[in-house]
Each structure stands twice: as structure tokens, then as C-alpha cells.
Chains A and B, each alone.
Chain A
């Protein structure tokens, strides 16, 4: 402990976990390399991404300075503010691509659902940490009720990807709080027993068809299946070592859709092959394990629950995105964290890592 504090003294004082920071920088560097290729060697696009990264890092640094205790106290305020914002989006939000997700604030567009990725686990962690651990069944149901409101509001936009991430963030908090396995099993059985009759009796044919297409996009090769088929071709044709940087034909000849955003992993897999993919996955795994390590070292229930939720949500990000582009999960709009081009998600993710760093570096102050 002493030796590490002397090594990381400076970073500890500015509330930065150097290990995590270096891993994140390595990931972002890899992301920049592939974004350059996927974006069609477009410097202007890269510059816009640098600005976002700059903002994201600033947000991370700022949040790292806030003590978990302060966060805990502000959690309900943030949650209520976010929920109001979600309602506002549904009423007066800006519509784009068939979904109402943004609030136009004149200077910039604000996406409340992104904020809720952090506000929801904070709120539930606040709620559960106020009571006994493991929580009583009543408290668990109350936590679920808190969770369901923003999730439904986001799903209504519609934004399936974000509502999935928000609900998993909340559920991870509940899971980490020690909810009994029996209860988890009960929920799973209840879910199935609700889904099956709904599928058989309540849903109309076209609704079933829509769900089936979402689950198996390849049944519709010219419609929703087109993306996933092209993505699999890109990944598969990459082979062991890939086609080489900037040489991916699927991406550069524009067969691959959304190549610099949701499908950027396919570009990476096409150009760097399976060996490159393994390195990337290892890097992600390292960040997750570092995150779990940080939460096990954390002081206080709130910090532990929130930290674990942030790390596991990051895992869900990765799994859903790669699973989706490689054809084992339905296509929901989830970006590859810290690699995909795009504004708000990168800021939210870095804010999440800011929380982890705060949890880690405010420990000793609490201990003293």
C-alpha cells in the first residue's frame, strides 16, 4: 500500500487511477486508429471526435474530484431531474430518424437518456444503501419500481439500446446488493410464464413476425438482415490476421453500414483479424477486471454498488455491441464503448470511469 501510494501519489492527489487511465488511453488510441479507417480517412471527422474525447476527459477528471458521499447525497436530485427531462423529451423533444431523444437547448442538444445511464444506478444504489444489506423483498420491489419508470420512458422514444443499458445498470445494483438467488430464479420464471402466453395468445401475427425478424435478422436479407450479413462478411473475411489497416474492402467499398458508429467493430475485425480482436477483447477485459478490483476495495455500500454497476454496464456495452455485429444478438443501437464515433455515449462512459476513480481515490481520505 505504502509503495503504491508513493508511486501514485501525484495521481492519487488529483484523484486519478493511473492503471485505469493507461488502459483507457490504450483503448482510445486503438479506437482512433480504426476510426481513421472506418471513417474513410476523414480528418474533419477525427477532429470532431477529438473534441468529444477532450470534453469526456474533462468530465471524467471533474467527476473524479467529487467524493462518493457527495454523489450519494445528490443522487435523488439527479434522478428526479433526469426523469422530468425524459418526460420533457417525449413532449417537446427533437425528432430524428424516427425517434424523439433530444432536447434542443439552443446551444447544444441534450440527451437525457444518456444521463440516466448514471443517474439510475446512483438512485438505486442510494435507495438500497440507505437500508439493510441484503435488502428486504419490499425494498427490492421498490427499487424495481424506481427502475421501471425511466426505462419505460426511454423505450417509448424509442431507444431500445439505451433502455437496455439503463435497466441493466439498475439491475446490476440490485444484483450486487445481494438479492437472493431464489428471488432471481423467481423473476426469471415469472418472466417466462408471462412471455409465453403473451406470445401465444395476446400478440398478433405481424407483431410476432416483427419480433422474429428482430431476433433473426438474416431472415430478411434485404431489409434489417442486410446490415448483419454484411457485417458478418466483414468479420469473417478478416481471418486470422486481417486484411490490413485501411484495406478492409467491406468497409472502404461501403458495403458495411454504420461503419464508424455501431458497426466499427466489424471494420476492426476485418482489418486486424482474429489476433487483433483477441488483443482488443483482452484490453476490454483488463479494464473490467480493474474496475471490479476497484469496487472490491471501495468503502461504503453506495460506492460499491454504484462502482460495480458502472463496470458491469460497460461489460454489457461490449457484449451487446460485439454480439450484435457478429450476429448472435438482435440489432439494438449500442455503440462499441470508447471506440465508436459519437458524442454523448463517450462522455457518459468517461463520467462512469470518473466515478470509479473517485471511488478509488477518495478511499484514503475517508479512512483517515
Chain B
């Protein structure tokens, strides 16, 4: 029974088991079916989708920033270059103990606590295999020390990168400007793609205004990266297009002469070639080292610069608005002659003051006891104020405004760097608009000696002088002479832009003013006669000016030495030379310098002398015939320079260069620059 039971059990058991085995087989097939279906869905049905995702995972695009264009002066001397600078960085992944390593480095080179703090902050943000900078701008010596010890400093790396460097950082700080790290505001306006690899952008001067040309076009590389972003290999590369090089009209040697001549004084100097509006020198003093700003200036230094009462960061050539004082006298004299208000032999008697009819107010001359009988020449040579009070009264503010505006007073010049101020040449409408008042005759009188509301920038004064010198041709002042693309063999010239030509009624009127201005330097009683030296190869025409900062009460006189330095008069001087063949027009302002003749004129004299020393006697003479002009050309070979085409004696409007420039200005890459200059011009037109 027991055995039977066992056999029966055995039989049932086997049947149950076989039954369940079939279930197990079905179960297996179902599960494998599910897996196969799922994999089919992923690998066949959705293959494209996942292939895209996989590509996006592994390939990333990196930007290669272009090399910034270089800036040269007119003789090919480099003003802005890209120098390799060395950064010490640590790759955390490759180090054993970062703190130890830093301690060891500190025994070799200087590492400040600030550096370590910055470094520690960066380490947290970056990935383990990325280098984190510890020290910037290593000296050659420091690089050498680290290099020798590199074998025992695992994870330490010296990286070379290009940093903008200005060899004449001080002298060119206001003109060339500088580049700096892109800030948040700029990030919004700069083209995103083109700046994807760039850390720096022009902040000021040429560097800012010509940013579009200097920057270049970004390049790309497609790289394969792993999950942590480490680059494994480069799949594809398109090289960046370097930025264009710029050749300036600026003469750095002249700029240095000017800076030396200022000798700790504050003020500005602008020198222009009257034949084409080329800026030869442009200086604002005190200056500062532009290199400080390139990799971020420390806040202490910046604060010191920014809060100094001398305002080194303030570009006086474009922003400084000064009362022009007596430097306006040649222009008003010319206005009187050309508008037939006075005759060439016009003469007044100067008692030392001027009174409007029926008014008791005395407009005082700087010479208390008066100049006596004064004609046009004497009025300029001795700077008689009463002559011009009277002349202004006769001209009236409307004609004064119109005439002076044609010389560019009160208008933006359209120079090719941003940020200039317009100065002010007052008019009735202006006063109505701004002060909501009628114009008073007394205001006309003081405007006649360049005081009152009248304000000029040093650039305007230089430009007006150039316009006076060349017989009425107002050029747009131009800092950039030519633009060289890396792919082009020769630079493309920027054509001088003639803004307007002032109608000359009688050339003898102009000659008379030139003559008077020449007497200012070369006459016995001239206010700038100290510039006259024996054996000079050329004659200078000029005019001194003294602008009041401090208003003197009626019937009171003051002693200069009693005044605080900051309340002293501004000294001004404007000049051009040679008189018969003007090659340089110059304006100098020395803040609180006192008298124009004693302080500003000598600075101008040094610059003129330095600039004209490069010309032969032949070249300094008045042009007679065409053949003579042609002979000027060989002078180019005198100065060896990287830049073969000499700037001077070039670029008269209307010759064949116009074609070249017009062509490049239409090309899209140059549009931004064109827009920039056009914006200036539009503004100017609305003024004129």
C-alpha cells in the first residue's frame, strides 16, 4: 500500500512537473520576446533619434579666438601688440596635495594671499582636469625658476597666452586706448558667436572705435569630448581670421616730444596735418599706463586714478571744454574782414576798457592802461581785447556764430574715435533753448574775446587752426591712416574727408591774418616771441590765449601768486607752420598754466620743431609748381620702417586713392566703422 502510494505519487508528481516545465518554457519565450521587442524598438525603430543624442553627447564645438590686429604709428612703430604672457596654473587632478604644492611654490616665486584665495574659489568651479590659474604675468625670471623645478611640481603648468601690450602705454593711453575683459553690459551688445572665444574687447580710443576691424573672425574646432568634457581629439578645424592691422597718422616720436614738453603739467595737445586732417599728435596730460587695464586693474590703483584731482583718466583732447580766450582773435579778425565789417586798415583806440553805449559796465582789457592806437595786426600781436569787444559788437552774435561754426567751433569734428564733446559756440537760439532767455548784447562782447559761453575742445581748436592755415578746408580729423588685412599685401588707405570748404572772399584778408599771427612769434612785441629763434628754417603763425577760470570782480585786480593753483588761468596756444606751406597745425592747452605765451607756446614750439625737422628746406618752402611737389616723394626713404608708404605728403582729396577707400568702405566688414564715422557726420550736419 505504501509502495503503491509512492508509485502513484511519483506518477502524478512527474506529470505536474512536466506541466510546469512547459509553463516555464512559455514563460522563458515570453520574457525573451519582451526583451527582443524592446531592443528592436530602441535599436531599429528609434535608431536615428538615439544616434543624434549620441552625437550630441560626444561632439562639442569650441571657439578659437582670432588674434587681435596690431596698431602701428605713421612710421611703422608698434603701438599695440600681442605679447605672450605666462600664467602659472595647477591641474588639481594631477596633484597630490594642493596646499602643500602652493606652499612649495611660494618658496620659489611670490604668491600673495589674494592669489591663493582667488585660486581656491576657481578650483571649486572648474573640473578636475582643467588648469586653474594661480599667478598671472610671470616674469621671465619666474618662468625660468618654475621651469627648472617643474619635475618636482606635479600638476603645475606654465601657460603662454597672448596679452595685449602697449609699448607706449602712457603716451598713447588716451588715443589708442586699451582693451579689457568683456563686462556684462558689453556681453549684451557684442556679437555672441564672434566673441565666443574672446575675453577682451576694446574699451577706449582706437581699440574701442575700431573694435570691429581689430577683433577678426572667430574660428572653430569640433572636438570629441568625454562625459567630463575632456577633449580627446579634434575632429574638424576652421582657423580664425586675425583682426586687421591699423596704421595711425599719429607720430609716436612727436607724441613723446609733446609728453616730455608737458613735464608734469596738466593739459592737452593736438597736432593736425592741415593738408588732410591727419592727427599727428594727440595728448592729454596727465596720462596713465594703459597696460594696467588689460588684465583687470586692481581696485586700489583704479580708485587712485579715478579720484585724483588731476583726473588722469579724463581725455582732455576730446572732453575738455575750455574757454578759448584770445585764440579766437584771428578768427574774429578774419570774420570782420571777410564780412566787410571792418576794412583791412581798420584801427581803434584802446583805453584799457570798453563800454556799451548807455551802459556803465566796463569790459576791461588785460592791459590795464590800454594798447592805444590798435590796428588788426597789433590787435592780434598784442592781443588787444578792446579791439575785439568792439568788433564783436559790430559783427553781432548771429554772424559770429555762423562764421565760427564754419571753422568747426561748437561742433563735433567727427574724429574716428568715440566720445568727443561738441564744445559751444553760443547763439540766440541756443540760449533760448537751453536757458530760455534772450541774448544780451554784453554777452556778444565777451564772446568776442572767446569768453563767456564759448567753449572749445583742444581738438576743435587744432582743427580750426588747420582750417585757417589751409585756406578754409575743414577736414574730418582722422587718426587711422590705413587698414591692413592679414590677407592683403598692402594696406588700404582711409581717404581724408573734406567736410566743407569755406568760401574765400578775398585771399588778402587771410594773408593779413596770417601775417599778424606770424608777428605773434616773430614780431618784437609778439606774445609768443620766445619761440622766435635765430636761424629758424621756417616761420610759425600762432596766437596765445589765456582763459579765465576765476572771475575777477569789477574794478578789482588780482595777483596771480595769491590764487590757489586750481583757480589759475588756463594757458592756450594755437599755431601752424611753416606759414607759407602749412604742414602742422597745433593747439595746446595747459590747465591753470597762467599765460599762453610763456607756458603753452613753448610746448607747441618743441612739437613743431621736432615735426618739421624731418623735412628739407625745399619741402618747407611754399609750393610753386607741380614738379616741385613731385620731388617731395623720395623723402620716404629717409626713415626705415615696416610700413613702406610714407603718410605725409600723401592723400590729397580727389586723387586716385579715393577709389580704393570708397571700395573698402562698402564692404560689409567695414560697415560698422563706416556707420561710426557717418554717425558723426550726421550729427555735424544737423549742427551746421
Contacts and interface: CB of A to CB of B under 8 A. Distances in A.
B400 to A, nearest CB: 74
A253 B57 contact: yes
Given A269-B39, A277-B43, A319-B31, A249 B54 contact: yes
A312 interface: yes
A110 interface: no
Interface stretch (B9-17, B267-275, B418-426): B9-17
B50 A289 contact: no
B12 to A, nearest CB: 7
Given A281-B35, A285-B32, A301-B13, A236 B42 contact: yes
A274 B17 contact: no
A219 B225 CA distance: 26
A179 B43 CA distance: 40
Given A236-B49, A249-B58, A285-B28, A277 B39 contact: yes
B610 interface: no
Interface stretch (A159-167, A201-209, A321-329): A321-329
A220 B35 CA distance: 24
B47 interface: yes
A274 B44 CA distance: 8
A334 B72 CA distance: 70
A6 B39 CA distance: 42
Interface in B65-84: none
A237 B224 CA distance: 17
Max chain A C-beta neighbours (<10 A), residue from B16, B27, B31: B31
Nearest to B57: A255
A240 B40 CA distance: 9
B228 interface: yes
B232 interface: yes
A133 B569 CA distance: 122
A232 interface: yes
Nearest to B44: A274
Interface string B204-229: 00000000000000000000111110
A295 interface: yes
Nearest to A273: B43
A184 to B, nearest CB: 11
Max chain A C-beta neighbours (<10 A), residue from B20, B27, B40: B20
A292 B225 CA distance: 47
A257 B515 CA distance: 90
A239 B17 contact: no
A8 to B, nearest CB: 22
B46 interface: yes
Given A133-B16, A253-B227, A239 B36 contact: no
Interface in A284-331: 284-285, 288-289, 292, 295-296, 301, 304, 308, 311-312, 315, 318-319, 322-323, 326-328
B50 A236 contact: yes
A323 B25 contact: no
Given A236-B47, A253-B57, A273-B43, A315 B28 contact: yes
Given A237-B50, A237-B54, A253-B58, A278 B36 contact: yes
Interface string A225-240: 0000010111111111
Interface residues of B, number: 40
B17 A304 contact: yes
A236 B28 contact: no
Interface in A109-138: 132-134
A326 B36 CA distance: 11
A230 B57 CA distance: 9
A274 B34 contact: no
B54 to A, nearest CB: 4
A326 B39 contact: yes
Given A175-B20, A176-B17, A235 B34 contact: no
A233 B56 CA distance: 11
B25 A237 contact: no
B24 interface: yes
B387 to A, nearest CB: 84
Contacts, number: 135
B104 to A, nearest CB: 32
Contact of B226 (A230, A255, A322, A328): A255
B655 to A, nearest CB: 62
B232 to A, nearest CB: 7
B31 A133 contact: no
| Count class of interface residues, chain A | 35 or more
Given A176-B17, A277-B43, A292-B21, A319 B51 contact: no
B521 to A, nearest CB: 78
A345 interface: no
A269 B43 contact: yes
A281 B43 CA distance: 15
A269 B232 CA distance: 23
A176 B15 CA distance: 11
Nearest to A277: B39
B9 A133 contact: yes
A289 B18 CA distance: 14
A235 B58 contact: no
Interface in B370-389: none
Contacts of A240: 43-44, 47
Contacts of A133: 9, 12-13, 16
B21 A236 contact: no
B556 interface: no
Contacts of A308: 17, 20-21, 24
B53 interface: yes
B652 interface: no
Contacts of B47: 236-240
Contact of B54 (A176, A233, A278): A233
A239 B49 CA distance: 11
A178 interface: yes
A326 B34 CA distance: 11
A310 to B, nearest CB: 12
B21 A281 contact: no
Contacts of A175: 20
A104 interface: no
Contacts of B32: 281, 284-285, 319
Contacts of B226: 253-255
Given A238-B43, A250-B57, A323 B9 contact: no
Interface in A249-288: 249-250, 253-255, 269, 273-274, 277-278, 281, 284-285, 288
Contacts of B16: 133-134, 177-178
B74 to A, nearest CB: 54
27 contacts: A133-B13, A178-B13, A178-B19, A234-B54, A235-B50, A236-B46, A236-B47, A237-B50, A238-B43, A239-B43, A239-B47, A240-B43, A253-B226, A253-B232, A254-B226, A269-B39, A278-B36, A281-B36, A285-B32, A288-B28, A292-B21, A296-B21, A301-B13, A304-B17, A315-B27, A315-B31, A319-B31
Interface of B: 9, 12-13, 16-21, 24-25, 27-29, 31-32, 34-36, 38-40, 42-44, 46-47, 49-51, 53-54, 57-58, 224-228, 232
When A and B form their complex, which 8 residue pairs have the shortest distance between CB atoms, in order from nearest?
Answer: A236-B50, A237-B54, A178-B16, A253-B226, A274-B43, A133-B13, A236-B42, A237-B50
Given A253-B225, A318-B35, 12 more contacts: A176-B20, A177-B16, A232-B50, A237-B50, A253-B227, A274-B43, A277-B43, A281-B35, A288-B28, A304-B17, A315-B27, A322-B38
Interface of A: 132-134, 175-178, 230, 232-240, 249-250, 253-255, 269, 273-274, 277-278, 281, 284-285, 288-289, 292, 295-296, 301, 304, 308, 311-312, 315, 318-319, 322-323, 326-328
